[in-house]
Amino acid sequence: MMLREETARMGRFKDGAKRFERAGSGALRGLLRAFLPRPKPEMGRLEPASVRRVLIVRQDSRLGNLLLLTPLLKALRAAFTASVTDILVSDAYGEILRGDPNVHEQFVLPKEILWPDPTLPVRLLRTLRGNRYDVAFDASAMHAFSLSSAIITALSGARRTVGFDRGDAKVFLNELVPQPALPLHETQIQLGLLRHLVAVGMEEPESAQPECHLSVEERADGEVLWSSWGLEGDSVALFVGARAEKRWPLSSFLELARRILAQGRRCVLFAGPAEKFLLSGLRLPDGLVMAPSLPLRRFASVLSQSRAVVTADTGPMHLAVALGVSTVELFLGSATWSSEPWRYGYGHLPGHRVIDAGERKVSVDEVWQALRDLPIVA
C-alpha cells in the first residue's frame, strides 16, 4: 500500500513538472519564432569526401534510445570516411557509448532547468562552434519535437543542420527530413537522417542493430563476477524491471525461473528497487540468484555473460541485443499504452524472439516455449 501511494504521489509530481515544462517550452518557442531569423537552406550537393566533422545531438534520458543511435554512428563513419563524429547527450546513460569506435568526442549537457555551473551551456556552445561542424543532426525522436536538441543543433554553427520535419524544426534547422511511413524500425528511422544527405555506406535494414563496446578488462570483470554468483556460460538472465504498464507479473517470472532451474540451468534475476520491494513478499525458487545493484557498465559486463535474457521492452532489452546476447522480448500493452515491437523489438534479427501481446495476458508457457525456441538455448 505504501509503495502504491508513493508511486501515485511521484506520478502526480512528474505530471505537474511536465505541465510546467510544456508551458515554459511553449513560451520560449514563441519568443524564438518571433526573433530568430529563419534558417537558410544549404544550397548545393553534399560531397561526402568534404565532410570533416559531424555532430549528433540527442538530449535523452533513456538507455535504449542512446543504443538505438549506434547504427547511425556506424553509418556516419562509413559514409564520411574522412570525418569524425561527436555526440552531445544528457548526463543519463551517456557512459554506455564509451569505447564506441565511431564516437570521437562526447559532450554532456545535464537536462536541468538550473545548472550547478550556469556557465556550462555557454562554454559548451563555444566549444561546439569552435569545432566548425560540417553537419549537425538533431537526432531526437521523430514523433516528438525536442526544443533543447533543436536549439543546440542550430547554435552549433554547423553549415547543415538536419532533423525531422515536425513541431518547430523549421525555425532552427536548414535541412528538414520528411517523416517516413510506418511501420519502420527505429534504427532505420534514425538512419533516414543520413539517407537524406547521402546514400553510400548505408547498411541494409536487417544488419543494423545496436552495439555496445566493452573493453577486455570489463568483459573479464563481468566473467569473474558472473562466476562468483555460481553462474555458468549457459545461465539465463531475467530482467523484471519495467514501467508498470510494461511489466510482466513477478509471479510469472518466478515460475519461469523454476522451469529453467528444473532443466538444470542456472538463473539470475535482475530487479530495480520497486521490483525488489515487491519480491520481498514472494517465495523465491531455490537456486535463483538475486543480482545486486550494479553501475551501468558493470551491469553490461555481467549481462554479456548470459546465454539469453528474458525482458520486457526496457533499456536492458536493447543493451542485451547490443551485447550480442539472445533475447525473449515481452511487448505488453494496455488500454492506455500501445506496444510497438515493429519499431523497438528485434524479432527480425537471428537469435531473438518477440512476444507481441497487446492487451492480452502472456502465459508462462508461451514465454517458456519462446525461450526454448532460441537455437542458442535449446
The enclosing domain of 301 has a CATH number of 3.40.50.2000
User: What residues have CB less than 8 Å from 136, skipping those under 6 apart?
Assistant: 54, 55, 56, 57, 153, 156, 158, 160, 161, 162
pLDDT at 7: 45
pLDDT at 10: 46
At 328, is the secondary structure helix, strand, or coil?
strand
pLDDT at 333: 82
Same domain, 122 and 179: yes
Low-confidence ranges of the chain (pLDDT < 50): 1-4, 6-7, 10, 13-14, 17, 20-21, 24, 31, 205
Q: What's the total number of domains in the chain?
A: 2
Q: Is the residue at 224 inside a domain?
A: yes
pLDDT in tens, 282-337: 889 999 999 999 999 999 999 999 999 999 999 999 999 999 999 999 999 876 67
pLDDT at 274: 82
Strand partners, 208: none
Rounded Cα distance between 164 and 182, Å, is 14
Distances (CA, A) of 83 to 89, 110, 285: 20, 27, 53
pLDDT at 28: 52
pLDDT in tens, 172-195: 999 999 999 999 999 999 999 999
pLDDT at 202: 53
Domain boundary among 189, 207, 225: 207
Same domain, 221 and 192: no
Same domain, 249 and 345: yes
> Grid coordinates 555458468 are at which residue?
232
Same domain, 131 and 157: yes
Residue 72 in grid coordinates: 547511425
Q: Which helix (H) or strand (E) holds 372?
A: helix 364-373
pLDDT at 9: 52
Under 8 Å between Cβ of 79 and 98:
no
